[in-house]
Amino acid sequence: MTDLKSLANPLFLREDELRQAIELLFYAYRDFTRGPDEILERYGFGRAHHRALHFISGNPGITVAELLAILRITKQSLSRVLSALIEGGFVRQQQGTRDRRQRQLFLTDQGKHLERQIATVQQAKVAEAYREAGAEAVAGYRKVLSGLIDAQERPAILRAIQRR
């Protein structure tokens, strides 16, 4: 019966398939974040610090409000993380040019170095998975993950990601 169904319509989504998709995401995320965690630990930082470093690295001069919107955490949660990064000399703030209330965020050389160190590990992992899977699979990966992003913000996020 299952076979009949999937023959008739390959996009008939059995619950098993959906469960697999969900578990794959869980396992991949679980293992993907382990490398960074080990590096961060040496600096006394956690994942939240990495996320900040990552998005400041990709968006130099980003404001606090913009970063909050990306990370979807509260001001207070980000504040702690940013303070630690600034205190440690990994991030610097600069008064906004257009609006002087804003604090634009930049990585210092030390911050760039740490970000690079982590990015290298993660990128190596992705690069290997990409090579194993092939170009076509990569396109599929992107399509499906894009579809999991909230529809409302999807266009803006995809634009931001592909901008570079």
Query: What region, left, alpha or beta, does residue 152 occupy, with left being phi > 0 and alpha being psi -120 to 50 degrees?
Result: alpha
80 binds DNA (CB under 7 A): yes
* Long-range contacts formed by 97-104: CB under 8 A, 24+ apart: 102/63, 102/64, 102/65, 103/63, 103/64, 104/61, 104/62, 104/63
CA–CA dist 158, 146 (Å, integer)? 8
Contacting residues toward a second copy, per CB under 8 A:
10-11, 13, 15-32, 34, 51, 54, 58, 72, 119, 122-123, 125-150, 157, 161-162, 164
Is residue 79 a contact point for DNA (CB under 7 A)? yes
Instruction: Kindly identify the residues of this chain, within the stretch 118-137, that bind DNA according to CB under 7 A.
Output: none
Instruction: Tell me: does residue 42 bind DNA (CB under 7 A).
Output: no
Contacted entry of a second copy, DNA, none for residue 134, CB cut-off 5 to 8 Å set by kind:
a second copy
* Residue number, 13 or 65, with CB nearest to a second copy: 13
